[in-house]
Amino acid sequence: MATNKEVLAKGVKYLFGALPMMFIGPVIFYNSLMNKHTDWHYLVLVIACLICIASVILAFIGLNLMVKALFDGDK
């Protein structure tokens, strides 16, 4: 059961890409909810939601690649 190091490194890169987005998204979301008096409220809220969704997708892809690298090494 050998580990495919290239795929494992690619999965780690996806996870490192998702990590800052996991913190930036909720911060922007909170900021948009605190600034409801501005006209940019809804645009910032949509951007924050997209960042949060992108972080979840990147984390899922990264974990999926890491599992494939660890357990599909025979193929």
Provide the pLDDT for residue 75: 55
Q: What is the pTM of this model?
A: 0.86
Contact 32, 44 (CB under 8 A): yes
pLDDT digits (tens, 9 = 90+) for 15-72: 999 999 999 999 999 999 998 898 889 999 999 999 999 999 999 999 999 999 988 7
> How many of the other CB atoms lie within 10 Å of CB of 75?
5
Compute, in degrees rounded to 10, the torsion defined by CA atoms 52, 54, 59, 62: -170
Any idea where the domains of the chain sit in the sequence?
5-71
Relative orientation angle of helices 41-71 and 5-34, to the nearest 10 degrees: 160
